[in-house]
A = this chain, B = another copy of it.
Amino acid sequence: MITLTLTHKSLVKTPQKEEERLEEVIFERPYRIYLNEEPIGTSMVLPTGLEEFGVGYLFAQGYFEEPEVFKEVRLCHEKGSIFVYADVDRVEGKDLIVTSGCGGTGKISRDFLEKAFRPLADYQISLAEIREFILAVLKASDLGLRTHCVHACGFWEGGRLRLFYEDVGRHNAVDKVVGAILMGKASPRGAIYTTGRLTSDMVLKCARVGIPIVMSRTATSSLGLEIAQKAGLTLICYARPERINIFTAPERVLIP
Contact = CB atoms under 8 A, between A and B. Distances in A.
A167 to B, nearest CB: 7
A39 B29 CA distance: 29
A12 B8 CA distance: 42
B41 A98 contact: yes
Interface string A18-30: 1001010111111
Given A12-B243, A44-B199, A96-B42, A102 B171 contact: yes
A22 to B, nearest CB: 11
Count of this chain's copies in the oligomeric assembly: 2
A116 interface: no
Nearest to A238: B148
A176 interface: no
Contacts of A103: 99-106, 169-171, 199, 201-202
List the 8 closest A-B pairs by CB distance, nearest first.
Answer: A103-B106, A101-B103, A100-B168, A44-B100, A102-B170, A149-B219, A103-B171, A100-B169
Interface of A: 5-6, 8, 10-15, 18, 21, 23, 25-30, 41-46, 95-107, 110, 127-128, 147-149, 151, 167-172, 196-197, 199-202, 218-225, 237-238, 242-247, 250, 253, 255-256
